Amino acid sequence: MSTVETRRTFTPEQIAQFQGQGYLVLDNVLTPEQITELSDRFDPLFNTQFETGIYPDEWYGRPGLSQPNATRQMSGMWRCDRTVANYALSGEIARLNATLMGWDGGRYGLDACWIKPPDAPEVTFHRNNTYASVIDPPSMVTCWIALSDCTHAAGTLEIVPGSHRWDCSDQVRFLHAPKDDYRAPLFAAAQEAGVASPETMPVELSPGSAVFLHGDLWHGSGRNQTDSQTRRSFAVSTLPMDAKFQPLGVGTGFIFNRYRRMGNLEMHESYFPVLWSADGYRTPFLKDYCQEALAIS
């Protein structure tokens, strides 16, 4: 497995941009070899070839069952495939995520691939933290990595810089192929926050580059308007190391709640392993389960 040999650090200016704007672009997070290694695992997974025998948490766009232009999405992939786990459970990605948030450590939250073929429909604007309100604190940060040329025409990610600071509400909703304007939740939130004309910004990325997203940043994506380009991406979301569950019945988060232990608010490391901490701790089973995709020198 080809690895990135240098330890990335953020400048004070980069951290300030992330905190002020809610996003940060970082080039060359993955090498071309790593992109191929990761992407090559997707087709087998979508064809029910799970290396570990464990099914994913979410699975949309199944071959032979969905429309040809349906967006394919799968999450919880680290349990299905140990090559994917090398990236989803990367201590280096978790370190980068946690550093931007000012955390002393980070644990696994979610992983997901998104594959948008030509004419794939929109993805509704949303905030990631809305889907994690069952967690205390309900806060996560996402490293969204381009595995292909992610252009505006191909339906790349769209964000609203600074929207993570809005005082507004949100609700859990189905994100795929909305019947109404995919920006409708964004417009409603902007009105509530007193923002007259929210401006969306496409995040155009070359393969291997990444954008880091604050969990409260509003984002979505438009239709893939190309005839031949398939947009591929892989996302890793990190929770604070000290995160725990809210009391039973508080908040929403259907994937997270699957791994709740009754009578205990702890997020068990079997399901939400600690991936990086400033004191060097990392959940022990990871050493045998997967490798570090991004070498830490």
Structural domains counted in the chain: 1
Residues 129 and 138: beta-carbon distance below 8 Å? yes
Residue 224, both tokens: 């893939």
Smallest CA-to-CA distance from 151 within 87, 222, 237, 95 is with 222
Tokens 């964000």 sit on residue: 159
Q: Quick check: is 119 in a domain?
A: yes
Query: Comparing C-alpha atoms, which of 128, 143, 158 is closest to residue 87?
Result: 143
152 touches 204 (CB < 8 A): yes
Examine the pLDDT at 284 and tell me if it is beyond 70: yes
- Does residue 1 fall inside a structural domain? no
The answer to whether 21 touches 103, Cβ cutoff 8 Å, is no
Give me the pLDDT at residue 66, please. Answer: 75
For the chain, the average pLDDT equals: 95
Is residue 57 domain-resident? yes
What pLDDT is attached to residue 4? 44
Conformational region of residue 11, where left means phi above 0, alpha means psi within -120 to 50, and beta covers everything else: beta
Per-residue model confidence as pLDDT tens digits over 47-56: 999 999 999 9
- Please check whether residue 60 lies inside any domain of the structure: yes
Residue 78 is part of which domain span? 14-289
Instruction: Assess if residue 7 is contained within a domain.
Output: no
- For residue 212, the domain's CATH number is 2.60.120.620
Residue 297 lies in a domain: no
Q: Is residue 9 part of a domain?
A: no
Whether residue 91 has pLDDT greater than 60: yes
Assess if residue 5 is contained within a domain: no
**What are the DSSP calls for 252-291, one per residue?**
--HHHHTTPBTTB-B--TTTS-EEEETT----TTHHHH--
